[in-house]
Structure 1
Amino acid sequence: MKVAVFSAKEYDKSFLCQEASGTDVQFTFFDTTLNKKTVSLAEGYDAVNCFVNDTLDAEVLRQLKTYNVSHASLRCAGFNNVELHAAKKLGITVTRVPAYSPESVAEHTFALLLSLNRKIHKAYNRVKENNFTLQGLMGFNLHGKTVGVIGTGKIGKAVIRICQGFGCNVLCYDPYPCSTLQQQNVEYVELDTLFTHSDIISLHCPLTTETQHLINQESIAKMKDSAVLINTSRGGLVDTKAIIAALKTKKIGGLALDVYEMESELFFQDLSCEIIQDDVFQRLLTFPNVVITGHQGFFTQEALKEIAQTTLNNLINYPQGKLQPDNIVQL
């Protein structure tokens, strides 16, 4: 089986090749993203393997079909970059990695929150310059604060466990409440109630037409003054221009992002010698109460191993008709 791997980094090559050892799966790695300009690279392959910023729209999928590619494998959980109606019409099966060490993203969520709150990024730079003053570094106790968790899938549940360990009160919103959490006395509330009562809001839901810009001018207006927002899910959940306006008026007290709605032009690349053309992103970087990382929440040894294992299993099981139902992306 010949598989074209797009958006491939050295760590992808290492983990995927290690898992594929001794199988008939042969990977060819391309560091470029998959899009209409690069789809021709997939000619002659049995399947493609893609990541979060690859584009599998109708045009790309149609071209893949002409190359007899019938399997689009994702090495991620989200699938907002796939035009599923087109895939179904063309008979292209889309698979994903539904869970890969949810603790990795949950722990990164709290790493961002703690860094933002206790100004770790600022303190680190001060101490390197022999500046040991504390002015401007004051944070607040997480113990006793109310954390609103939007989305209670595997990652959301892991975040809730950490919140409880810190002594936080937890409010949850999910259109499909988890009975196990309910039995543990975790409180589900309406979205407006969560916005109104949460000191900290953490996003852990998929990006769909319903959740696009879930955080917008209207929802921000419902939040507590100086509320803190954390997003380690998908960039499109947040209307960036609306959040910038809220930061300027101090309605939002702090913002931590591991994702960004226009990240495909920025993340996973070394642009340190380039002029960034995204003025909205550059404006975000000017705020002292904003911490941004480049979509690294998944980036642990355990998560990468799980991603590689599940990806390989999907590729091997697809021709045999033995795919796990949760691993198939369906409408």
Structure 2
Amino acid sequence: MQIVFLDASTLHSGELDLSVLERHGSLTSYPVSAEAEIPERIPHADIVITNKALMTAKNIAAAPQLKLIVSCATGVNQIDLDAAAAANVVVSNVAGYSTPSVAQHVFTFILNFATQIPQFNQHSRAWPQFPIFTSLAHPSFDLVGKTLGIIGLGEIGGATAKLALAFGMNVQVLAREESKAKRMPELPRVAAEDFYSSSDFISLHCPLTPATQGCINKQTLSQMKPTAYLINTGRGPLVNEADLAEALDAGTIAGAGLDVLSSEPPSPNNSLILSDHPQLMITPHTAWSTLEARQRLLAGVAENITSFMGSFAPIKN
């Protein structure tokens, strides 16, 4: 089998051993692949691995031997599923590998907002000149008794809820008619208006759909407390970025922690990238990327290939 990994640099920078992918064939690995380069890299591929490299109908047609596309991620939006099905190409993904990592990242945002550590750290060199032993310049607060509102109670939302409960927080879930989640039924499902107005933190974990795109906008932001914080480690387009930037500048909400933006890498003119709001923290889509999460992801990709190859195993009499 000829195995082609189109964008291996999205998985590692040399610290992972990709030889596990060679159990069933010869591996050709590229750090990244521009869309124009993909057809010339896969004409003899039996298996293609991709994180963000697009497997369009055109690219699938350029690989007549192709049998399997493995998404090195949970999502498969980079793959034309209809074209794959028409070509009898199997598509697989890896679910659940980043759950503890993303939940941890959410709480990194929450704890930084509660303790104001980033702000105090910036002023640490001035400590010798303080008139007293401490500083009250950036008021901090306890998480005990605060309310975390979760939009999307899937695996990651559920893991985040458990961390919040361990910190003594109250947890509530946005009631959504389209949601089929039955996880943690003891958590209250709250209608939108009360949900937004009563949450001290709101964390987004819902899938990106036509119904959820732009769900954080001028209207929903205006319903939030001026002391509340928004956290998005889900999908960038869940948030209307111009409305969020305006809400931060106007003091409509206290701050935001974002690990995703509407386009990535973002435009240098993105209103949030340009913002100097002291309570805006942005990380470059790193919530998923702990070493352990990437090891789990690699193992999942290898397992998907092994399972697929097992379907070709001869039946023994």
SS in 2 for 1:230: strand
Q: Report the counterpart of residue 55 of structure 1 in structure 2.
A: 54
Structure with max Cα Rg: 2
Q: Report the counterpart of residue 79 of structure 1 in structure 2.
A: 76
CA offsets 1:281-312 (integer angstroms, 9 cap, x no match): 4323x211101111111222321121111111
Higher mean alpha-carbon deviation, 242-251 vs 214-223, is at 214-223
Q: Distance in 2 between matches of 1:302 and 1:312?
A: 15
1:181 maps to amino acid: M
CA-based RMSD of the aligned residues comes to 2.5
Q: Report the counterpart of residue 165 of structure 2 in structure 1.
A: 164
Shift of 1:229: 0.4
Q: Distance in 2 between matches of 1:6 and 1:118?
A: 42
Q: Distance in 2 between matches of 1:319 and 1:70?
A: 10
**% of aligned pairs identical?**
27
1:283 to 274, 283, 295: 274
SS in 2 for 1:148: strand
Q: Distance in 2 between matches of 1:88 and 1:211?
A: 27
Shift of 1:130: 4.8
Q: Report the counterpart of residue 271 of structure 1 in structure 2.
A: none
Q: Distance in 2 between matches of 1:128 and 1:31?
A: 40
Q: Is residue 180 of structure 2 the alignment partner of residue 181 of structure 1? A: no
2:96 maps to amino acid: A
TM-score by length of 2: 0.85
CA offsets 1:49-100 (integer angstroms, 9 cap, x no match): 122x4334xxx23222231234221111123333434443444332111111
Shift of 1:319: 4.1
Map residues 203-214 of structure 1 onto 2, 5 A cutoff.
203-214=204-215
CA offsets 1:17-76 (integer angstroms, 9 cap, x no match): 15336x12433222224534544322322222122x4334xxx23222231234221111
Q: Distance in 1 between matches of 2:67 and 2:269?
A: 36
Distance 1:148 1:33, change over 3 A: farther
Q: Is residue 308 of structure 2 the alignment partner of residue 306 of structure 1? A: no
Does the CA-based 8 Å contact 2:143-2:168 persist in structure 1? yes
Does the CA-based 8 Å contact 1:149-1:170 persist in structure 2? yes
- Larger RCO of the pair (alpha carbons < 8 Å, separation 6+): 1
Q: Distance in 2 between matches of 1:201 and 1:4?
A: 40
1:313 maps to amino acid: E
Does the CA-based 8 Å contact 2:4-2:28 persist in structure 1? yes
TM-score by length of 1: 0.82
Q: Report the counterpart of residue 24 of structure 1 in structure 2.
A: 24
Q: Distance in 2 between matches of 1:80 and 1:290?
A: 29
Q: How many residue pairs are counted as aligned between the two chains? A: 304
Q: Report the counterpart of residue 260 of structure 2 in structure 1.
A: 259
Q: Report the counterpart of residue 315 of structure 2 in structure 1.
A: none
1:65 to 47, 61, 67: 61
Map residues 1-331 of structure 1 onto 2, 5 A cutoff.
1-9=1-9, 11=12, 14-15=15-16, 17-20=18-21, 23-33=23-33, 35-51=35-51, 53-56=52-55, 60-68=56-64, 69-128=66-125, 130=127, 134-173=135-174, 175-182=178-185, 185-263=186-264, 265=265, 277-284=268-275, 286-321=276-311
Q: Distance in 2 between matches of 1:217 and 1:84?
A: 34
Q: Distance in 2 between matches of 1:42 and 1:116?
A: 47
Shift of 1:153: 1.2
Q: Distance in 1 between matches of 2:38 and 2:272?
A: 26
2:31 maps to amino acid: D
Q: Distance in 2 between matches of 1:178 and 1:115?
A: 29
1:235 maps to amino acid: G
Distance 1:220 1:33, change over 3 A: farther
